[in-house]
Chains A and B, each alone.
Chain A
Amino acid sequence: MGTTQRNFSVVGKGAHVKDAREKVTGSLKYAVDLKVQNMASGKILRCPHPHAKIVRIDTSKAEALPGVLGVLTHEDVPQNDWESAWFNYRGKALDGTGRFVGDDIAAVAAQSEEIAEHALELIDVEYEILPHVLDMEKARESGAPEIRCEGNERDPYIVKWGDTDEGSAQADFTVDCDIFYESQQYAPLGRNACIAEWLGDKVTVWTSSQTPSELRDGVHEALGIPLSKVRVMAMPCGSSFGQWWSNNFMIITVLLARKIRQAVKIELTNEECMATVKRRHLERTRGKMGCTKDGQITFAQIDHLIDNGGYGFKDDVGFFCVDMWGKARNGHYAVHGINTNLVTAGCMRGVGDCTLGASVERLADRLAEKADMDPVDFRIKNQIVAGDELRMQHSRDNMKGNRDAYIASIPPHLRKDWPELFHLSAGGTRAILERGAEAFRWKERWKGWATPHTVDGPLKRAVGVGTGAHVCGVEFEGSSSAMVRINPDGSAKVHCAVGRQGRGSETTQCQVAAEELGLPLDMIEIETGDTDSCPWNHGSLASSTMYRTGWATRAASNDARRQLLEIAAREFFDGIAPEELDITDGEIHPKEEPRSNRRFTFSQVLNELRSETLGQTSSITGRPAVPMPPSTTFARQFGAQFAEVEVDVETGKIKILDFVAVQDSGTVVNPQVLKNQVIGGAICGAGFAIYEHLVFDEETGAIKNANLLDYKLLRCADFPHQAQVLFEESPDPVGPFGARGAGESPIAAGISAVSQAVYNAIGVWVDLPMTPERVVRALNAA
């Protein structure tokens, strides 16, 4: 049931990840572990004020300190804006203004980190204190302190269909909400460092990054030098989840190294990682939703604010919950991005779908209770199925005006084999909800809304369900590409700049290439970090690695295979049509005769290329021949999760007792890799639901808990070890061997499952994170 059986040789198999031995022996090198010869240490001077302009900066004492090699200030820096992917940063490397406590002001390079730290204290800065604003609602008022020259608020991002007034009139039940979300921190385990080294006018940058190509673009923009002079070598990341893309400290490292004409390494402290780079947005949803007596949602009216901090520039948060709950008859969603004098906010795992998505789930749950419906049934009734129209159809800059103009602008020969645009191409939530409900024994364990199944003194136990959606990669910033090279010995190498975020995509990309090429997995290696050898790639973000890069890896492999079979057909099979050949275990043979003795290895074919007559090259390079279809217009991932919790109504402590996560990400390329991603998402979501939040100083916005002692993360015993992950594999018409994106819907589903379970246990909705204090307060207020 639910699994499409297909005959794959490598895909779907639980291959151990390729770097497993390096990982368990501690020999994997992250950027913090790398050293280059004659490398100086850099440190960054940070702004002590929430908003201040440098009037005068005197670096002479710092420069006179023995061991100091140079000081970089805004006066040394080209005043070009650079941008990180998805508007996670827009600004100059240094521009003489600090926009949050901890903002980058200047940098020192010295012979040792200790000397650099000492030198920071010797830099004399005179600031003009500027008025500041920490609250996003105040930041959008007229007369608010101006944080950015573009103004503090972006144009709203609006998704609408039907007429919400009509929908409101049709509703038998209506609920509203005003929910504020605290900010989750990536709280990375493993810090980051950046090393930059110039040779002449060319620079090489080593850092842990999920987006090597975007970082190369950022260096090019910030410094105004040709892309050809920038080489990024992305190293493996510790847990990143959106934090390590292209970050300003990397640009500063490049500039500092250029100034002192020597390699520099800047290694961030744990506190710097947590307080100066980025975090999830603070968000607020005000919304209304209504349904009929039989549980049909008639309208959703949502107004959602996100705070971008100092340098974020987002106008939307990628809320694919709008598509998941797309059977609502009418809808109006508006998202407003607003700058504040807080540390920059950016995309963290499941951006938008963890917050706005949780608001929509909560509104829907409250309606389901009024309509006296089971939350599983209510979801099935109101959530999307394959073939339904998507709601995300708003014209955006990259969509050439509107939907029809956009479709018309695509050459017909390209789109003839594409799925129907603006409709869900595969999947949905029905199958995962039904599968999960069965595995979790939902019907037995759910005793109705606000009804615990067990009460044991102060301990109340109940179950909850949540659903989450997200995109499967985005095409707006460019088409992610890959290249596959078959070497003369018959081995192959995949080149795709997705970095190494850590969850096993090096292995899964190789599995895709192995399946397409007919090669054993151990004959394929991969390069994911070097922008000099890889074509442009959006990177590992927006759940795109398997879907969009996997598509490109498969297309490149297919191109290499085609070239190889053409040569084989001509040179070894008497000029038969290449389509009549096939490859098994690295040997080429006639398709109709898989056991034929007439079979040739890749290396036999490639060595034929070395003859005088055919000697154009001795290796084959494959590339995608056409662009990948624009997947935001048809592909989504979905997760449904079921949680059992125990709430102590005296202490407010929540314990998660049982968990089932069901995921539909199409064909599963590597089950254990995907299980890890799904359960990791669920745990990150559960952590956001019950513990995690940054604490900002009310006066200055400085982060007060930028360390792992005061910022609480779930630990092993905080999550049930018997948690189950199940897959529904609705095959995707476009993704490699039917696979889709996976990494971000699980966190969204986890938040709502835990949140609803707590409500069912205690009968009160608690704001997130549901810390013991908040649970007790909510109970007292009820």
Chain B
Amino acid sequence: MTMLKVNNRTLEVTSRPDRTLADVLRNDLGLIGVRVSCSEGECGSCTVLVGGEPCTSCLMLVNQAEGQDITTIEGIGSQDDLHPIQQAFIEEQGFQCAFCTPGFIMSAKAFLAENPNPTADEVSVAMSGNICRCGAYPYIVRSVLRAAEKLRKSSGQQAAE
């Protein structure tokens, strides 16, 4: 038995030592927003936050994540209550087929936490750990810039309150 802290809940999973975090999140916990494509850490589709850091969960064994806060796309917003980054991706349509989108959004979340006011060039480099085969890159950059603006506004409001 392994105890995982996923999206603010503590959950119990049966785990063999050879299982990846992505496998457990998808198949035991039903978190299908953790997309698996290359299985070798190249495409970034399976990006989740572990202790706030972006990780390709296809390369991480489940036991390595034990005891740390794990956040998946399901943990940051829902269809009825979107996260500002998700809202920004919709407004700029930073996707086509969207298989890669949860990974991009999780990478963006970690990046914007470190750099809340980035330039377009900085966004472009920061988003290069993920692959979008549909080629929505220019609109992904715009999505992240718009998300940064939304997040700055909302944190500004919070500070004012």
Contacts and interface: CB of A to CB of B under 8 A. Distances in A.
Given A24-B101, A189-B43, A716-B137, A238 B89 contact: no
Interface string B126-142: 01101111111111111
Interface string A647-672: 00000000000000000000000001
Nearest to A16: B90
A679 B141 CA distance: 13
B33 A25 contact: yes
Interface residues of B, number: 55
By secondary structure, the B interface counts as loop
Interface in A495-514: 501-504
B74 interface: yes
Given A504-B96, A716-B124, A721-B137, A27 B32 contact: yes
Contact of B97 (A502, A675, A714): A502
A32 B135 CA distance: 22
A190 B135 contact: no
B38 interface: yes
Contacts of B37: 188-191, 238, 270, 708
Contact of B136 (A190, A676, A722): A676
Interface in B84-112: 86-87, 89-91, 93, 95-102, 105
A503 B96 contact: yes
A709 B42 contact: yes
B38 A682 contact: no
B39 A27 contact: no
B96 A716 contact: no
Nearest to B143: A24
Given A26-B101, A679-B138, A187 B95 contact: no
A238 B82 contact: no
A603 interface: no
A713 B120 contact: no
A709 B38 contact: yes
A704 to B, nearest CB: 15
B7 to A, nearest CB: 12
B120 A269 contact: no
A519 interface: no
Contact of B98 (A28, A188, A707, A716): A28
B32 A715 contact: no
B158 interface: no
A227 B28 CA distance: 37
B97 A24 contact: no
Interface residues of A, number: 58
Interface string A31-64: 0110000000000000000000000000000000
B12 interface: no
B21 interface: no
Contacts of A709: 38, 40, 42
Nearest to A673: B93
Interface string B116-128: 0000110111011
Given A26-B33, A236-B97, A715 B136 contact: no
Contacts of A675: 139
Contacts of A24: 77, 82, 86-87, 89-90, 95, 98, 101-102, 105
Contacts of B123: 716, 721
Contacts of A716: 123-125, 127-128, 130, 132, 137, 140-141
B39 A713 contact: no
B71 interface: no
B139 A679 contact: yes
Nearest to B80: A21
Interface in A672-690: 672-673, 675-677, 679-684
A236 B121 CA distance: 32
B22 interface: no
Interface in A691-738: 707-709, 713-723
A237 interface: yes
A294 to B, nearest CB: 39
B77 A189 contact: no
A29 interface: yes
Q: Count chain B CB atoms within 10 A of each CB in A236, A680, A722 and give the residue with the most.
A: A680
B34 interface: yes
A776 B74 CA distance: 47
B78 interface: yes
A237 B96 CA distance: 10
Given A25-B77, A723-B138, A239 B105 contact: no
A20 B90 CA distance: 6
Interface string B2-20: 0000000000000000000
B138 A190 contact: no
A118 B136 CA distance: 40
Nearest to A240: B97
Contact of B39 (A241, A270, A502): A270
Given A190-B97, A709-B40, A25 B74 contact: yes
B82 A683 contact: no
A16 B93 contact: yes
Nearest to B129: A715
Nearest to B18: A114
B131 to A, nearest CB: 6
A150 interface: no
B57 interface: no
A686 to B, nearest CB: 9
B157 interface: no
A238 B138 contact: no
Nearest to A680: B135
Contacts of A720: 138
A189 B89 contact: no
B137 A708 contact: no
A238 B74 contact: no
Contacts of B87: 24
Contacts of B139: 672, 675-676, 679
Contact of B79 (A22, A237, A501): A22
Nearest to B32: A33
Contact of B72 (A26, A191, A708): A26
Contact of B131 (A32, A680, A681, A715): A715
Interface string B35-66: 11111101101000000000000000000000
B126 to A, nearest CB: 8
A231 to B, nearest CB: 24
A503 B97 contact: yes
B35 A26 contact: yes
B73 interface: yes
A668 to B, nearest CB: 14
A240 B98 CA distance: 12
Given A21-B79, A28-B98, A502-B97, A189 B131 contact: yes
A175 interface: no
Contact of B134 (A20, A25, A676, A707): A676
A23 interface: yes
A29 B133 contact: no
B112 to A, nearest CB: 15
Contacts of A504: 93, 96
Interface in A347-366: none
B101 to A, nearest CB: 6
A716 B139 CA distance: 10
B98 A717 contact: no
Nearest to B88: A24
A24 to B, nearest CB: 4
26 contacts: A17-B93, A22-B79, A23-B101, A24-B82, A26-B34, A26-B35, A29-B32, A30-B99, A270-B39, A502-B134, A672-B139, A676-B93, A676-B96, A679-B136, A679-B138, A683-B135, A708-B37, A708-B43, A709-B38, A709-B42, A713-B133, A715-B131, A715-B137, A716-B128, A716-B141, A717-B127
Q: Which 10 A-B pairs have the closest CB atoms?
A: A26-B33, A502-B97, A683-B135, A23-B98, A190-B99, A680-B135, A239-B133, A238-B99, A26-B73, A26-B102
Interface of B: 31-40, 42-43, 45, 72-74, 77-79, 82, 86-87, 89-91, 93, 95-102, 105, 120-121, 123-125, 127-128, 130-142
Given A26-B101, A672-B139, A718-B128, 6 more contacts: A20-B90, A269-B39, A676-B134, A714-B137, A715-B127, A721-B137
